[in-house]
Structure 1
């Protein structure tokens, strides 16, 4: 199949990805607006359906109506499918179907997959697509199997299996949607090691990024991993460790969260709390009852998010890692930024700076607008909600259902922006002309910084 790569005749890869997400969100909105999608048989309305569809496709988990009690089985199943499509990406699913049908994958589709997975080249992207689909099915099936040992005895075979599948897919895709009802999320399982650690495992695995998972599967030895995988794993480990220690200190004596729990339940609850702000959205503790330092730490973790090429949002672990390495290089007075005996290019550092700046600017603008439209809500509640939407986390201090129509639409836009990432949005909106090489270099100038 010959497809023109002329930018004047074809959409750019970033634009195709944006439009694919918009298409799935639109279809999901129409389906959720159907009366059969709700328990009471009434249409959920355009705004509520759009918000829920966007939250599911962008694997966020923020909800304006209770997922477990408001939506019918049909509606919940639509949400589940939207989560799966949003987590894997429409391009991944369509390419997988084409592979299964024995169709040849053309150059343009390979370029699209390269963009979708944030790969450096098109070499091996079809193989990566296969690994992504297979690994997703394996992890979600394993998670559902393990969760069924808890849910089937409590809910019966039919409901137990459905609940296990729903929450396994939601956890691996870092969506945070639950169908427990009444906004409970997983608070009823705060001391349950099986549910906690299965969900934790799925969240971490889904948030590492598909390229890292494939790299781990292939090499199984840290020293042989790619530079990207090494940085992701190190930053992820540091963030999880630091978050665990700080949350444990901040919440140890808080009677509204873990203060009155036995030590094992405390450790289990804090382990979950250290993981879930990394774009997962599930909670076993009441977010509104956290201490102020814990809320601030949660907001920071939500802004950072997961890793590139995963289902996670935020500015990503590698971006934060590169900024830390840059600061370290400046403190040491060296020009080259190094990691694992490799030099990081200036272009990569500039891209990381751009991601942080654009992300912070978008969060600030949306937060400012929400403080104007949502006058009855507290400062920290709005900031928490804004960062949760941008990081596609889904945690809330309980104000999502109280948002005005304008507020819901702004959060919808922010979830979409957070899922696709600032660079994808910028590239999609940029001029489609050919990228011109810099032919002239001006003399270097000096600017005082700091």
Structure 2
């Protein structure tokens, strides 16, 4: 069967909006109910496992964004079939027997999750991506694959571009990685591990693993596919060899994408409801409930989902965001307009995300008048009058979220390249403008 055609991944900078965009100011309390697109993290994990499973399956309500279309394109290039024509994507596993080229774009999940799968191919699979992706760490995954007998050619860079030359099988066994820079190093090896002859036993050796909820998400999804995972010991995850059962997935809303909308309630003193908030989830965005409550918001589950009502005065927060670093830009933006000091800790690893987010946040918030101090692993913010100006996003969707949050509370803020939000929410600017 020939692979189904894939809709080209949209450019992260293509937009009908002015650039920089005069992001709207909230002139009063905002009351709104919002539906979010599906989780990128869950969509891409489901796609990977579907492509190496024992039969066709469906990823329902898949997120359609640049990152997920790049993942669909990568798996199709390897030899599977991913039909992205509808809201529910049909995945048919195929034979990985050809040379291929994988465009990672700015998608860390593609750059890290696909090489361990490509190791099962008999072809040479070349990986590259957008210029900034050549700066993001991947060496631990490539080194782990080499230790399992996989041929990897990266010219000693430990970064893009590189080529994986598989033999159709991987021995598997025990690997030791330092995942202190990204939990994705662990997830990448676990996702493909059941298809390795001996499975894979991943052991972390280094500083604490950031964003552990994402590893828990990986383990949960693997178990849904009938894969045996032993995670009883700290810093060790063992996947037994065996069949990856074909399972249909219903993708949850992307809770990290809820951050700017719930923040809008916080800064405007309004009330925003996010539909279909799951009762239980492994998504990092669920931490928004506790974070916003600590800052003075009223947070409640309602029939439609989760409702946040903003306070009269937004309070600062002292919080360790190590496990939920992707929320740091939105939280930092809220702290910049809060009425008491804040300290965000435990997030040195977000320097290796789409951009150095700590430096970028300190620079951009400071340029708008914020009293912000950058630390090696976080930020301190103190109340200060903010003013208008251009908020640069560095091709980073979470930075764009921070920009529009500040703009909702401060006159004359222009957000550069708001279209970068298309990485995980293609219609973000339209939805945001519609609320304001």
TM-score w.r.t. the length of structure 2 is 0.30
Larger helix proportion, structure 1 or 2? 1
Larger strand proportion, structure 1 or 2? 2
